[in-house]
């Protein structure tokens, strides 16, 4: 039965209209939890392109001081050179920062006891006044709250090998299903089960597109994974149009743009596979589980490949920063 519209807008007789937010959420202004750096805020207000960057890659993905000198600062510089404003996201003393000063970057890069922060970690870390590096999942949340549609990282988390038994599936995948931000990455590492990761992204409604000449979904350190991405965009204009369509339609899910590592700095899949097998068996014998798995594997693979994988890692992040900035510039032109 259809109710007259006057009844609908008043609610059922005798009921109290539900508050739009629960009372405990209303007491603290959101600004208490999220601080947007003034340069980032200005760019956003003026409609200029901004690129969000994550910080787990700094705090847990690479060792100090390369994480700062060869990665964090350099990547911000690449974003600037390509016409966008960088906004590295991190958590300092219980507050999410969107955009970090050089001292803040240095602090996160050199601290030993900062937390790796995904969606599930946020309430504890904020309430305890802790500091942390945000993963793809944590950074997407912050970028969305700040109104930044494009986010650049190295690789996203995925379904781990054996994930059909352990259920070790990165929160990055469910975040992509629920938060409308475009993530630019070099696909997923072959330490993961790439086929199942792509299946899970489909289930979550994430539009995945390979960037450039090839339809192949890249495997982080190497360009080939043996799996095709469902879609393919030739250049930044096509990528920006795809993102604009997702945002324009009001889809609440994200987009994944997969950019292969530059050919001359990629590591062969076979070299990586041998290192992975050894690292996986060490991880198992040491009983490493949960959020420690990814940082452990990255570090071990770097050791076992004598730094070759680290070189690919740096090259692909820098390349993603360039491509992601061009996409952000193209998107901001479409939105004018």
CA neighbor of 207 nearest in space, from 162, 247, 265: 247
Residue at shortest CB range from ligand PSU? 61
Per CB under 5 A, the list member of 54, 121, 168, 175 interacting with Mn ion is 168
Annotated active-site residue 189? The verdict is yes
Q: Does 109 bind ligand PSU (CB under 6 A)?
A: no
Name the helix (H) or strand (E) containing 207. strand 207-211
| Two tokens, residue 314 | 């740096």
Integer Cα distance of 276 and 68 in angstroms: 26
Per CB under 6 A, the list member of 37, 67, 82, 135 interacting with ligand PSU is 135
Name the helix (H) or strand (E) containing 85. strand 85-92
Longest Cα separation, the chain: 72
The site map against ligand PSU for 206-245 (x = CB under 6 A) is ----------------------------------------
Integer Cα distance of 129 and 113 in angstroms: 13
Q: Which does 232 bind (CB under 5 to 8 A by kind): Mn ion, ligand PSU, none?
A: none
Q: How far is the CB of 170 from Mn ion (least distance, A)?
A: 5
Q: Does 171 bind ligand PSU (CB under 6 A)?
A: yes
Q: How far is the CB of 138 from ligand PSU (least distance, A)?
A: 8
Annotated active-site residue 42? The verdict is no
| Two tokens, residue 276 | 């992975």
Q: Does 88 bind ligand PSU (CB under 6 A)?
A: no
Query: To which residue do tokens 């692909």 refer?
Result: 316
Which residues are paired to 150 by β-bridges? 182
CA neighbor of 259 nearest in space, from 209, 298, 294: 209
Q: Which does 318 bind (CB under 5 to 8 A by kind): Mn ion, ligand PSU, none?
A: none
Per CB under 6 A, the list member of 172, 193, 216, 236 interacting with ligand PSU is 172
Q: Does 136 bind ligand PSU (CB under 6 A)?
A: yes
Integer Cα distance of 47 and 217 in angstroms: 32
Nearer to Mn ion, 122 or 209 (CB): 122
Q: Does 193 bind ligand PSU (CB under 6 A)?
A: no
Q: Does 305 bind ligand PSU (CB under 6 A)?
A: no
Integer Cα distance of 223 and 312 in angstroms: 11
Q: Are residues 36 and 42 in contact, defined by beta-carbon separation less than 8 angstroms?
A: no
Q: Does 132 bind ligand PSU (CB under 6 A)?
A: no
- Concatenate the DSSP letters of all residues of 100-147 into one string: --HHHHHHHHH-SSPEEE-GGGHHHHHHTT--EEE-HHHHHHHHHHHT
Q: How far is the CB of 189 from ligand PSU (least distance, A)?
A: 6
Q: Which does 179 bind (CB under 5 to 8 A by kind): ligand PSU, Mn ion, none?
A: none
Nearer to ligand PSU, 141 or 330 (CB): 141
Specify the stretch interacting with ligand PSU by CB under 6 A; choose among 42-50, 79-87, 165-173, 321-329.
165-173
Integer Cα distance of 294 and 170 in angstroms: 10
Catalytic residue of the set 116, 189, 291, 300: 189
Handedness of CA 6, 12, 14, 19 (dihedral sign): negative
Please report, as ranges, the residues that interact with Mn ion according to CB under 5 A: 168
Please report, as ranges, the residues that interact with ligand PSU according to CB under 6 A: 54, 56-57, 60-61, 135-136, 154-157, 170-172, 291, 294, 298, 313
Known catalytic residues are 54, 189
């Amino acid at each position: 039965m259809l109710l007259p519209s006057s009844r609908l807008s008043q609610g059922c007789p005798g009921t109290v209209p539900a508050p739009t937010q629960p009372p405990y959420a209303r007491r603290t202004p959101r600004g208490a939890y999220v601080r947007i750096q003034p340069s980032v805020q200005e760019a956003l207000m003026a409609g200029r392109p901004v690129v969000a960057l994550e910080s787990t890659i700094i705090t847990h993905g690479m060792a100090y001081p390369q994480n700062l000198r060869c990665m964090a600062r350099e990547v911000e510089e690449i974003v600037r050179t390509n016409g966008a404003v960088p906004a590295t996201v991190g958590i300092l003393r219980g507050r999410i920062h969107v955009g970090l000063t050089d001292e803040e970057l240095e602090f996160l890069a050199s601290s030993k006891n900062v937390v790796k922060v995904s969606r599930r970690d946020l309430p504890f870390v904020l309430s305890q006044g802790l500091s942390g590096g945000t993963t793809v999942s944590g950074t997407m949340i912050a970028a969305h709250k700040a109104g930044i549609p494009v986010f650049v990282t190295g690789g996203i988390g995925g379904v781990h090998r054996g994930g059909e038994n352990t259920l070790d599936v990165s929160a990055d995948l469910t975040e992509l299903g629920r938060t409308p931000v475009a993530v630019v990455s070099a696909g997923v590492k072959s330490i993961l089960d790439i086929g199942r990761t792509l299946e899970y992204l489909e289930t979550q409604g994430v539009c995945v597109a390979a960037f450039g000449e090839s339809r192949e979904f890249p495997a982080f350190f190497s360009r080939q994974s043996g799996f095709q991405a469902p879609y393919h965009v030739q250049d930044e204009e096509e990528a920006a149009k795809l993102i604009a369509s997702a945002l324009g339609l009001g889809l609440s899910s994200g987009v994944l743009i997969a950019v292969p590592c530059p050919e001359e700095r990629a590591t062969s899949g076979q070299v990586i596979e041998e290192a992975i097998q050894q690292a996986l068996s060490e991880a198992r014998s040491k009983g490493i589980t949960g959020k420690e798995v990814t940082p452990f594997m990255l570090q071990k693979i770097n050791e076992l490949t004598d730094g070759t994988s680290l070189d690919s890692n740096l090259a692909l992040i820098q390349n993603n920063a360039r491509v992601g900035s061009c996409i952000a510039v193209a998107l901001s032109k479409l939105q004018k």
